[in-house]
Amino acid sequence: MRIASQQSGIDAGPMIVGIMGGSGSGKTWFAERLVEILGDKARIICQDSFYKDLSHLTLAQRRQVNFDDPKSLDWAAFRKCLAHVASGRVGHIPKYNFATHTRDEGQSVFEPREVVIFEGLWLLHRPALHRYFQLAVFIDADANLCLERRVRRDTRERGRCSDEVTAWYDERVLPMQRRFVDPQCRQAHVILKAPVTELQVRDLAERISNLCGEL
């Protein structure tokens, strides 16, 4: 289904919702719960899929790359996908391998639905992207909560030890968050304090449904 966009200069397409916040703030859980409530009319795109392919570097060199700096993202590929999806066209998403910091072969083909939810660290980092988002949500999370969640995720899913994750968070993640992630709250339409509650999820899902009805 294609619906009229509220953003000037964008062809008819789905409603684009952005979920932002620091690493471990609960963006992914929040986006997934919204999709569960909204059903088949909604889908998610994760900005993390657009990290640059580092296959030209050794594994040791890849591990030293600061993935919490927006320079680590393939912005051209991300903007192209966002623009295509916002206008109702098919988007292409790289298959990023977080264990090796490289891209696997091929791309995922994304067919837009009535609502497309983007979740990521830097959705509004570049001013040129602001116009694509009809609703932007920033999750404000305490650093201790984010660290606890990041340790849990990286030890379970990315093969790292807790001491390594903690040191990385203190030395790179938090400073980069304060510099590049947190300022985006000024452009957000909604700011939620983590941990986000089920009631807040349902309230936002209702708001999205209502906005869709107005487009």
Domain assignment present for residue 40? The answer is yes
The pTM of this model reads: 0.89
**What average pLDDT does this structure show over 91-118?**
95
Q: How far apart are CA 166 and CA 10, in angstroms?
A: 42
The conformation of residue 72, written as its DSSP 8-state character, comes to G
**What average pLDDT does this structure show over 85-90?**
96
Q: How far apart are CA 125 and CA 94, in angstroms?
A: 20
pLDDT for the residue 160? 81
Phi-psi bin for 73: left (phi > 0), alpha (psi -120 to 50), beta? beta
Per-residue pLDDT of 137-193, as tens digits, reads 999 999 999 999 889 888 887 778 899 889 989 999 999 999 999 999 999 999 999
**E strands, 22-101, in order:** 42-46, 91-97
Select from 70, 65, 24 the least CA-distant residue to 47. Answer: 70
pLDDT for the residue 9? 44
Q: How far apart are CA 171 and CA 90, in angstroms?
A: 39
Q: What is the 3-state secondary structure (H, E, C) of 174-200?
A: HHHHHHHHHHHHHCCCEEEECCCCHHH
Environment class of residue 18 by beta-carbon count within 10 Å: exposed (0-12), middle (13-18) or buried (19+)? buried
Domain assignment present for residue 177? The answer is yes
Q: How does residue 215 score in pLDDT terms, banded at 50, 70 and 90?
A: low
Domain assignment present for residue 20? The answer is yes
pLDDT at 8 over 60: no
Q: How far apart are CA 167 and CA 152, in angstroms?
A: 14
Select from 186, 201, 199 the least CA-distant residue to 35. Answer: 201
Domain assignment present for residue 178? The answer is yes
**What average pLDDT does this structure show over 3-29?**
76
Domain assignment present for residue 10? The answer is no
pLDDT for the residue 159? 74
Total domains, the chain:
1
Domain assignment present for residue 49? The answer is yes
**22 vs 99 pLDDT, higher one:** 22
CATH of the domain at 178: 3.40.50.300
Domain assignment present for residue 58? The answer is yes
* Structural domain for 131, as ranges: 15-214
Q: How does residue 5 score in pLDDT terms, banded at 50, 70 and 90?
A: very low
Buried b (16+ CB within 10 A) or exposed e, 171-206: eebbebbeebbeebbebbebebebebeeebbeebbe
Domain assignment present for residue 19? The answer is yes
